[in-house]
Amino acid sequence: MTFRPAIRPGAPLLRRDATHLQVGTSPGIVIADRPGLLPLLRLIDGARDVDRITAIARESIPDLAIPVAEVLAELRILGAVFDATRWSGARRRGLDAEARHVDLIGDDPARLSRRPAIGLAFHCDAGARSLVDIAQTVLADSGVTRLDAPDPDLLVIASRAEPSRGVFEQPVRLGLDHLPVVIDEDRVRIGPLVRPGHTPCVSCHDLHRGDWDRAWPALVHQLGRHTAGMTPPAVDAVTSHAAALELAVEVLALADGRALRTLGRCLAVGPEPGDRMTWQVAFHHSCTCDLLRAA
C-alpha cells in the first residue's frame, strides 16, 4: 500500500553520531544509519508518495541499497515517519494542524470532519460578550464555523452572574442541548451541559441547592433582574481567556464525540488562571426533567 510519507510532525531530522540518525528531540527516535538513508529521508516532504520517492531515489541516490518502501514502512511503525494522506480529506480543509495533532496522539483524524457540521447558537448578555467572542475565535480556528446556526446542536447560554431561569425554558421544551456559562464574581462556571431528559438540568441544580439553602427558591426568582447597576466581576483577562478556552474544549469534545467534563458536572475556572474545580450535579428526585426521559 502506497502512502505519502512525512517526517514526524514538528520533529527535526538530525545526525546523532557516525552510525545513527535521530528524528526529534523529545526524546527523539534513534535510527541506525545505512548508506543512502539520510538523503532518502531528505526526499520525504509529505507531498510525494512512496512510488515517487522510490523513483527519485533510484536516480539520485546511487549508494542506496535498501528497499525504500520497506524502510519507510518500518520507520512509520517507529513513529519517525507518518502518512500525510491522513491529514487531509473531505470537509477538513484548513484543519491540517488539528489532523496532525489527532494522528500524533494515535486517534483517527477522520473524526475532525464532524466539526464543520456541528451547529452552535450563543445566547449571551453584554457582560459575557468578550468571553464568547474569544471562544468563538478558537472554535473557528478549530474548524467549527456554524456559530449562529438556526438549528443548533448546542445552545451556549453565557451571562454575567446567574441568569434568569427563564432562559432555560425554551431549550428544555425543545429538547435542545444547552450549556450555561456563568461569570460569577471571581470565577467562571461552565456547566452542567444539559441534554434534556438525559442528564441533570439547571432545575436539578437549583433543587439541590434549595435542600440546604431554604431561601434559594426566593433568590432564584430574582436572578437576572436589576443587573444594570451590578459591579462588574473580578475576573481578569487571563482567567477570562482560560475560561473561553475551556468552553471551546468542551464544544470541540462534543463535536468530535469525545468525553465531556460538564455532562452532569460543573467546571469552574479561576480565580487564578490555572485554577480548576469540578463538582457533580445529580438528578433531583423532585425535578420533573427526568419525566422527559421516561416519556
- Binding Zn ion (rule: CB under 5 A), the pick from 203, 239, 240, 262 is 203
Rule CB under 5 A: is residue 194 a binding residue for Zn ion?
no
Q: How far apart are CA 241 and CA 153, in angstroms?
A: 24
Crossing angle of the two packed helices 129-141 and 237-256, in degrees rounded to 10: 50
Between 81 and 287, whose beta carbon lies closer to Zn ion?
287
Of 122-130, 156-164, 195-203, 264-272, which segment contacts Zn ion by CB under 5 A? 195-203
Stretch that binds Zn ion, among 6-14, 168-176, 199-207, 239-247 (CB under 5 A): 199-207
Residue 136 or 203 with smaller CB distance to Zn ion: 203
**Total chain residues near Zn ion (CB under 5 A):** 5
Q: Which of 6, 147, 267, 287 binds Zn ion (CB under 5 A)?
A: 287
Cβ pair 247, 180 in contact under 8 A:
no
In the complex, minimum distance from the CB of residue 283 to Zn ion, in angstroms, rounded to a whole number: 6
CA atoms within a 13 Å half-sphere pointing along the CA-CB vector of 169: 4
- The crossing angle, in degrees rounded to 10, of helices 50-60 and 68-78 is 120
Give every strand in the sheet of 187-190, ordered side by side: 120-124, 154-160, 178-184, 187-190, 265-269, 276-280
Q: Rule CB under 5 A: say whether 201 interacts with Zn ion.
A: yes
CB of 282 to Zn ion, least distance (A): 9
Q: Identify which of residues 5 and 192 has a Cβ nearer to Zn ion in the complex.
A: 192
Rounded Cα gap, residues 35 and 180, in angstroms:
61
Q: CA-CA distance, 106 to 101, in Å (whole number)?
A: 9
Using the rule CB under 5 A, give the single segment among 28-36, 40-48, 148-156, 279-287 that binds Zn ion.
279-287
Q: Which segment (15-23, 46-54, 65-73, 204-212) binds Zn ion by CB under 5 A?
A: 204-212
Which window, 156-164, 172-180, 202-210, 257-265, contacts Zn ion (CB under 5 A)? Answer: 202-210
Write down the least CB distance from residue 178 to Zn ion, Å: 12
36: left (phi over 0), alpha (psi -120 to 50) or beta: left
Q: What would the grid cell of residue 278 be? A: 469540578
Under rule CB under 5 A, residue 220 binds Zn ion = no
Nearest approach in angstroms of CB 222 to Zn ion is 21
SS (H, E, C) 103-148: HHCCCCHHHHHHHHHCEEEEEECHHHHHHHHHHHHHHHHCCCCECC
Task: Note whether 16 and 6 are within 8 A (CB).
Answer: no
Of 64, 204, 235, 269, which one interacts with Zn ion (CB under 5 A)? 204
Which chain residues interact with Zn ion by CB under 5 A?
201, 203-204, 287, 289
